[in-house]
Amino acid sequence: MKLIIIAILACTSMSVSAECWLVSNLKGHSAYNTDGYIFNRNGITNGIFQVDITKNKADLRLVGDSLSGGGLQYIPVSPVSMVGFFTEGNKSTIETWAITDDKKVMYSKVMSNPEALNSTSSFVGDVIGKC
């Protein structure tokens, strides 16, 4: 599964030259085990994220917050995409972030926590500036 995600992200457009972007207005769909995995509209519209990708490292920050990535470790996949992950026992979270050349951000998240919540989300948002 990781190879498929990495292959898809590697195909993301390489024409965007910035290494740090401000993104917001993420909208799409999510499915949760508590709702029988039925997809419903969802989003993150009340925050601005800083997606920072360099050749050797990647990071995510909520603008105005000193915390980065919500406990996830990020790795760059290309100049415009990164993967974040967290694992602890049988709990895991995997995120993907990719910046397109038409000023959009594509975001996906999979959470697996057998003791609490399993979910998947896929959002598209806007690149509103550079850092």
User: Which domains are assigned to the chain?
Assistant: 2-130 (2.40.128)
Q: Which residues pair with 6 in a beta bridge?
A: none
**pLDDT: which is higher, 71 or 22:** 22
What pLDDT, in 10s, does the model give residues 68-113?
556 899 999 999 999 999 999 999 999 999 999 999 999 999 999 9
Q: Which of 27, 80, 28 is nearest to 53 (CA)?
A: 80
> In percent, how much of the chain has pLDDT > 90?
74
**Cα→Cα distances 5→39, 64, 107, Å:** 21, 30, 12
List the beta strands (DSSP E) in the chain: 20-32, 40-44, 49-53, 58-62, 73-78, 81-88, 91-99, 104-112, 118-130
Using a 10 angstrom Cβ sphere, with 0-12 exposed, 13-18 middle and 19 or more buried, the burial of residue 120 is middle
The pLDDT of residue 115 is 84
pTM over 0.95: no
